A and B are shown apart, each in its own frame.
Chain A
Amino acid sequence: MSEHLIEFEPLCKEGPSRNGESILDSAQRMGIGLAGLCGGAGKCKNCKIRIIEGTVSELTPAQREVFSEEELDGGWRLACQTYPKVPCKVFVPLEAITSSQRLQVEGLEIGFPLDLPLNTVACELKPPSLTEPVPDAENLLEEINIQGPIHIDHYVLRDLSIRLREWKWRLTAHVRQGEVIGICPPDSRPLGLAVDLGSSKIAGYLIDLNSGRTLAAKGILNPQVSRGDDIITRISFAIRTPGGRGTMEELATVALKELAKSLCAEIGAETGDILEAVVVCNTAMHHLMLGFPVRQLASSPFVPVETGDLNVKARDIGLDFIPGAYLYFPPLIAGFIGSDHVAALTATADHWKNETALLVDIGTNTEISLITPGKITSVSCASGPVFEGYHIENGVRASKGAIEKVSLSGDSVHFRTIDDVDPIGICGSGILDAISQLCSAGVLDRRGHMTEGSHPGVVNRKGQLEFELVPGKEGRGNHRISITQKDVREVQLGKAAIQAAMKIIIAHNNISENDIDRVILAGAFGNYLDISNAIAIGLLPSLPLTKFLQVGNAAGIGAKLLLLSSTKRIEAKDLCSRIKYIELAGTPGYTEAFLHACYLEPYHLNRDAVRD
Chain B
Amino acid sequence: MSKELVNLMVDLKEQEALDLTTKSLEQGVDPVDILAYARKGVGLVGEKFANGVYFIPDLVFAGEILKGINKLVEPYLGSGKEDDRKRLGKVIIGTVDGDIHDIGKDMVVFTLDMNGYEVFDLGINVPKEKFVEAIKETGSKVVGLSGFLTLAFDAMKETIGAIQEAELRDSVKIMIGGGQIDEQIMTYTGADAYGLDAMEAVQLTKGWIGG
Contact = CB atoms under 8 A, between A and B. Distances in A.
Interface of A: 232-233, 235-236, 239, 295, 298-300, 382, 447-449, 465, 485, 489, 492, 583, 585-586, 590-591, 594-596, 598-599
A298 B54 contact: no
A605 B182 CA distance: 38
Contacts of B60: 595
B122 interface: no
B208 interface: no
Contact of B101 (A233, A485, A489, A585): A585
B98 A448 contact: no
Nearest to A382: B148
B151 A236 contact: yes
A298 B99 CA distance: 9
A300 B150 contact: no
B124 A299 contact: no
A233 B180 CA distance: 10
Nearest to A586: B100
Nearest to B103: A591
A485 B150 contact: no
Nearest to A485: B52
Tell me if B's interface is mostly helix, strand, loop or mixed: loop
B125 interface: yes
B124 A449 contact: no
A229 to B, nearest CB: 11
Contact of A599 (B57, B103, B125, B150): B57
A485 B49 CA distance: 13
A299 B57 contact: no
Given A236-B151, A595-B60, A492 B100 contact: no
B57 A448 contact: no
A474 B151 CA distance: 47
Interface residues of B, number: 23
Contacts, number: 61
Given A235-B150, A299-B149, A449-B52, A596 B100 contact: no
A195 to B, nearest CB: 27
Contacts of B118: none
Nearest to A295: B151
Contact of A591 (B98, B102, B151): B102
A598 B60 CA distance: 12
Contacts of B102: 585-586, 590-591
A299 B98 contact: yes
Given A232-B149, A233-B150, A299-B99, A447 B54 contact: yes
B193 to A, nearest CB: 23
B56 A300 contact: no
Interface string B32-62: 0000000000000000000011111110110
B188 to A, nearest CB: 11
26 contacts: A232-B150, A232-B151, A235-B150, A235-B151, A236-B151, A295-B151, A298-B150, A299-B98, A299-B99, A299-B151, A300-B100, A300-B125, A382-B148, A447-B54, A447-B55, A448-B55, A449-B53, A449-B55, A585-B102, A586-B124, A586-B125, A591-B102, A594-B103, A595-B56, A595-B103, A599-B57
